[in-house]
Amino acid sequence: MSRAAALTFDNRFTRALPADERTDNERRQVAGASFSRVKPQTVSAPRVIAVAEDLAAELGIDAAWLASEEFRDVMAGNRVLPGMDPHATVYGGHQFGNWAGQLGDGRAINLGELKLPSSGHRMLQLKGAGPTPFSRMADGLAVLRSSVREFLCSEAMHHLGVPTTRALSLVLTGESVLRDMLYDGNAALEPGAVVCRVASSFVRFGHFELPTSRGDVELLRRTADFVIRTELPDLLTAEQIEGAALGAEDYLAWYREVIRRTALLMVDWQRVGFVHGVMNTDNLSITGLTIDYGPYGWLDDYDPDWTPNTTDASTRRYRYGQQPAVAQWNLAQLGNAIAPLIERVEPLQDALNRYAPIFTRAYRDAFAAKLGVPSDDDATPELIGELERTLPVVEVDMTIFFRSLAEVGPASSPGSALSIVEDAFYDTAALTGEALAAWESWFERYAAALARGGVDRDARRQAMNAVNPCYVLRNYLAQQAIDEAEQGNYDELHRLQRVLERPFEEQAGAERYAERRPDWARDRVGCSQLSCSS
């Protein structure tokens, strides 16, 4: 008997929500439905090149099945297991601030909802497994470089404690895919790949925007009811969980929870220096997860205006420092979308007004922890604010700076403190004049804050090292793994994956993964410049 027979699928989404009446796989507008059934495209020579073994164990997948041809074929899209119900969902969205109409899963096919061995469900989704009715003019496929980036970043974020979709597997397809990486007319054939993404839900803000834009309040209500019942049952009575009607107050409570989760997610992105790159409303999760790892990037030198997305180069709408404000704008669009369920604007606005205080408090707590100072100290907000103004004065590596800061003590002079964090500076010769004065001023304030905190130095060092990672998925490290993988060598991919599984621990032999970005990577495509094709 196949070991996969032990896996149980309970497809709540396709059971509860309306399906597209058509079963063909032609590109089209789909109204009155939440999804279209579609099967993955078969590939010629699938090969599993990476797996997340801890996630497999959580899903109830044993090591023997991970190594089997059946697992390989399922993760490549060549086989559908009994109980799966493959489908692509339809949604809309605001892209770069403009309403784009129908979008949908153009490069993702949901295989089915797997029941966990303990409790709960996880949707298995293949990214790059072929076209769907929502692929528009695209082929629904993915290339190795983007799939490596998706796999590594999903897992890196998870181990950093950032809510995210996970990546179970990375499979080479044996096919070639034509891509124009920077949309500059230089298309080339690249190796194809498929990532299996995993989440409790892949529902996005855009799943609510589209039915409202079409005046389909019934579909809007059914979608909201489904998400609340499956993802946030604690908001409901037992009768409502079983099917009793939800009212305006229930939808408001849900909206407030989405606001809270989204605010906390933005804090998590900011605290680790992650830049999503394309924060369209169709790329924000209704459950507060990080989804859709496209043209993302990590801050090397701290720069609030940096975005990795070449498509966003002119306006920098989705730059690092703008992410919290964009999230609030996106939440406002979600509020507009669910307004027909509440029928009054004031409570929606009141709920949205909670976003800023939630974000501000959580941001203060997170950065106070990174600095090792008391969050409730009245001087802490200004200490954080002054640091934010000082970090961009000269190029300072964000990850190395915060990690090194644990070695600074309340008795450290500004000069000795700068010596301790010296490795974080890309050009120490720039530390002169006003730049030097700014840093000396900040370290004086910092030493005073540490003294007021009165925490034992070893305890503070341990606490700071638990929130300031030694390793993040630096852009150039991901590109190096991609370069080798495209030559058929996956050793670097595996090494990097293992290092990122323990980001807060200094690992022997992994020193190079904690170093500053090299100069050659400063402007290289893939390291600092990425498009939505990345």
Instruction: State the catalytic residues.
Output: 282
Residues 6+ apart with CB under 8 A from 469: 160, 272, 399, 403, 503, 504
Q: What is the C-alpha end-to-end distance of the chain, expressed in Å? A: 40
In eight-state DSSP terms, residue 317 is T
Q: What is the CA radius of gyration of the chain?
A: 24
In eight-state DSSP terms, residue 304 is T
How many residues in the chain?
534
β-pairing, 188-199 vs 166-179, is antiparallel
Residue identified by tokens 């969205």 is 93
SS3 32: coil
What token pair was written down for 300?
């090397």
Residues 6+ apart with CB under 8 A from 162: 265, 268, 269, 272, 274, 290
> Distance of alpha carbon 110 from its chain centroid, rounded?
18
What token pair was written down for 489?
């060598």
Q: Are 246 and 226 in contact (CB under 8 A)?
A: no
| Beta partners for residue 194, in sequence order | 171
Question: How many Å apart are CA 225 and CA 231, to the nearest integer?
Answer: 10
Question: How many Å apart are CA 122 and CA 489, to the nearest integer?
Answer: 31
Residues 6+ apart with CB under 8 A from 268: 160, 161, 162, 163, 274, 366
3-state secondary structure 134-165: CCCCCCCECEHHHHHHHHHHHHHHHHCCCCEC
CA angle 69, 73, 79 (to 5 degrees): 125
Count of CB atoms situated within 10 Å of the CB of 222: 16
In angstroms, what CA-CA distances link 6 with 125, 474, 505? 19, 38, 36
Count of CB atoms situated within 10 Å of the CB of 467: 20
